[in-house]
């Protein structure tokens, strides 16, 4: 193992968005590529956002995707605990160290005082004032109170937070693996809270302390965190030294049909946005997942890999092993990546086509059972799988595409044949069923030969008769070649379906 250590650090607050899975994937690929370690750390310091079941759900999703971490709460390594709420004591020490060094301060302002600040300092040019270098000296904190007063407030256990003291004018810069050199002006960044009144750290303090203590070498996260980088850089500088700071890559946003892809887009446009189905236990709100929609995990991660990355060739289909070989952070695009559901389905279709029959069977069995279909003849089932496979974009399409093999179609698309149906055709099919009775070696060839000979005899173009036959056997205008269907459903069933349909047409 190399010393490369990467981490995915989700807050267990709900379903796992496809952008989150892409972050996992890039972490995973990078770790495997460098024979490194992929850590999963649960960032649950915001107790007001705790959601029952969200943690296990994350593990279930990663398992389904085949992207399981090397170290986590479920598989602790030597850098635990891997859940931030269990590391509470660690953070205070670092927050106090910052105060002692003069990089942070205690702030005693009550929620009412903070609210008053937002009103009192509001101006036209500054409509939402922040607790920053211009305002902090007008507030109630250890920078403005006499030392003994601060000490007595602390010793009385007065509610307080610890805030970073952002330097007034400092250029803070770093080199991002995707964005290159990025710099910030410290004077416009507010004095972020590092330690909250409940003693819990905020994300800013916890992420730096944990990345340091867990010896993280590379930190990949969504671009929405780029604006927090100046705070994190300073914390690294003050606490651990910039030479220890991980290399960062801020991954491009995933865009939906209208701006940044959101959970709402899923419901609005009818596509999944989470890896797996998720029902929020707080309000029973349901969000659909790629898994249950009928995606193969291989297709899902392949689609995510190229959502923001390419290897410089035209190649689009990658196995996980190929991705591990070819992925590189410097080929990840800076600009947001547009999610296209049709393209996602294309990937799935390609991956379904690659499945061998045995695996395909395993994948669709569950859907069949759910649809109440039982398989009696395995050999026949395998033939059906082979025939229908290429026609399915989603695993869940199989039932719709194949149900007529297992039971007589409940409905026939009569409208599709009505206009051109006549006595001549009717008589053809009556004669056809009579001839079919006598076929002793029932096969695609014999069924088709009899059909063609009879059509020639009656002087009807076979093309005119194929659609009615399809509707008779399938119920609709879809499915594999019609004589193959007849072969598989067998003689009695074929004859019976034709006879029943003649009555309905």
Residues that bind ligand GLU (CB under 6 A): 9-11, 43, 203, 207, 221, 225
Of residues 195 and 399, the one with the C-beta less far from ligand GLU? 195
Q: Which is nearer to ligand GLU, 43 or 397 (CB)?
A: 43
Exactly one of 244, 263, 343, 491 is catalytic; name it.
263
Q: Residue 12 or residue 294: which is nearer to ligand GLU going by CB?
A: 12
Q: What's the alpha-carbon Rg for the chain, to the nearest Å?
A: 32
Give the span between the Cα atoms of 498 and 485, in whole angstroms: 13
315-321: Cβ within 8 A, 24+ apart: 316/347, 317/347, 317/350, 317/351, 320/66
Nearer to ligand GLU by C-beta: 43 or 298? 43
Residue from 357, 409, 412 nearest 385 by CA = 357
Distance CA 498, CA 41 (A): 62
Q: By Cβ distance, which residue is nearest to ligand GLU?
A: 221
Instruction: Give SS3 for 276.
Output: coil
Could you give the 3-state DSSP secondary structure of residue 427? helix
Q: Given the DSSP bridges, would you call strands 218-222 and 104-107 parallel, antiparallel or unpaired?
A: unpaired
Show the CA angle centred on residue 99, arms to residues 96 and 101, nearest 5°: 110
Closer to ligand GLU by Cβ: residue 230 or 294: 230
Please report the sign of the dihedral spanned by the C-alpha atoms of residue 214, residue 219, residue 222, residue 223: positive
What minimum distance in Å lies between the beta carbon of 43 and ligand GLU? 4
User: To the nearest whole angstrom, how small is the minimum distance from the Cβ of residue 294 to ligand GLU?
Assistant: 28
Distance CA 266, CA 194 (A): 35
**Is 334 among the residues known to form the active site?**
no
Q: Which residues of 257-283 are buried (b: 16+ CB within 10 A; e: fewer)?
A: eeeebebebbeeeebbbbbbbbebeee
Give the nearest distance from C-beta 38 to ligand GLU in angstroms: 13
| CA gap 499, 492 in Å, rounded | 11
Q: In this structure, are residues 488 and 474 in contact, taking their beta carbons and an 8 Å threshold?
A: no
Query: SS3 of 211, please?
Result: helix
Residue number, 13 or 130, with CB nearest to ligand GLU: 13
Compare residues 109 and 223 and give the one whose CB is closer to ligand GLU: 223
CB of 45 to ligand GLU, least distance (A): 9
Mapping DSSP to helix (H, G, I), strand (E, B) and coil, where does residue 15 land?
coil
In the complex, minimum distance from the CB of residue 473 to ligand GLU, in angstroms, rounded to a whole number? 53
Q: Give least dist CB 206 to ligand GLU, A.
A: 9
Residue 259: which residues within 8 A CB-CB, separation 6 or more?
Answer: none
CB of 368 to ligand GLU, least distance (A): 38
| 30 contacts 218 by C-beta, under 8 angstroms | yes
C-alpha 183/C-alpha 384 separation (Å) is: 60
Query: Is 247 or 380 the residue whose CB approaches ligand GLU more closely?
Result: 247
- Rounded to whole angstroms, what are the CA distances from 373 to 131, 360, 381, 393, 407? 64, 16, 12, 20, 9
Active-site positions read: 263
């Amino acid at each position: 193992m190399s010393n490369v250590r990467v981490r995915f650090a989700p807050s267990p607050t709900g379903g796992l968005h496809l952008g989150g899975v892409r972050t996992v994937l890039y972490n995973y690929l990078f770790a495997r590529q460098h024979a490194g370690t992929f850590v999963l750390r649960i960032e649950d310091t915001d107790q007001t956002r705790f959601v029952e079941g969200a943690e296990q759900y994350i593990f279930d999703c990663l398992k389904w995707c085949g992207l399981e971490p090397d170290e986590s709460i479920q598989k602790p390594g030597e850098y635990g605990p891997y859940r931030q709420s269990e590391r509470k004591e660690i953070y205070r020490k670092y927050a106090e160290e910052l105060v002692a060094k003069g990089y942070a301060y205690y702030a005693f302002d009550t929620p009412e005082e903070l609210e008053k600040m937002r009103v009192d300092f509001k101006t036209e040019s500054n409509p939402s004032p922040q607790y920053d270098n211009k305002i902090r000296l007008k507030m109630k904190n250890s920078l403005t109170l006499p030392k003994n007063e601060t000490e007595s407030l602390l010793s009385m256990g007065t509610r307080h937070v610890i805030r970073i003291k952002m330097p007034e004018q400092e250029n803070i810069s770093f080199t991002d693996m995707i964005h290159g050199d990025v710099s910030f002006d410290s004077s416009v960044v507010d004095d972020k809270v590092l330690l909250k009144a409940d003693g819990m750290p905020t994300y800013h303090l916890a992420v730096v302390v944990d990345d340091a203590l867990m010896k993280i070498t590379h930190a990949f996260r969504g671009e929405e965190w780029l604006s927090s980088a100046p705070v994190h850089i300073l914390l690294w500088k003050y606490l651990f030294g910039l030479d220890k700071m991980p290399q960062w890559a801020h991954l491009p946003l995933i865009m939906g049909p209208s701006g940044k892809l959101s959970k709402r887009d899923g419901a609005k446009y009818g596509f999944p946005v989470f890896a797996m189905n998720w029902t929020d236990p707080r309000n029973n709100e349901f969000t659909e997942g790629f898994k249950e929609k009928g995606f193969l995990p291989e297709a899902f991660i392949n689609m995510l890999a190229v959502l923001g990355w390419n290897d410089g060739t035209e190649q689009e289909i990658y196995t996980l092993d190929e991705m591990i070989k070819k992925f590189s952070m410097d080929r990840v695009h800076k600009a947001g990546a547009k999610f296209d559901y049709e393209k996602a389905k294309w990937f799935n279709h390609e991956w379904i086509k690659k499945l061998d029959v045995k695996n395909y069977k395993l994948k669709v069995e569950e859907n069949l059972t759910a649809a109440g279909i039982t398989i009696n003849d395995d050999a026949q089932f395998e033939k059906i799988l082979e025939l229908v496979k290429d026609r399915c974009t989603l695993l869940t399409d199989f039932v719709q595409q194949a149900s007529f093999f297992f039971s007589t179609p409940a409905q026939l698309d009569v409208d599709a044949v009505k206009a051109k149906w006549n006595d001549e055709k009717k008589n053809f099919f009556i004669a056809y069923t009579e001839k079919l009775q006598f076929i002793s070696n029932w096969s695609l060839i014999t069924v088709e030969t009899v059909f063609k000979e009879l059509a020639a005899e009656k002087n009807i173009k076979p093309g005119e008769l194929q659609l009615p036959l399809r509707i008779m056997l399938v119920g609709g205008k879809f499915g594999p070649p019609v004589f193959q269907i007849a072969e598989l459903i067998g003689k009695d069933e074929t004859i019976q379906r034709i006879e029943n349909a003649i009555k309905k047409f």
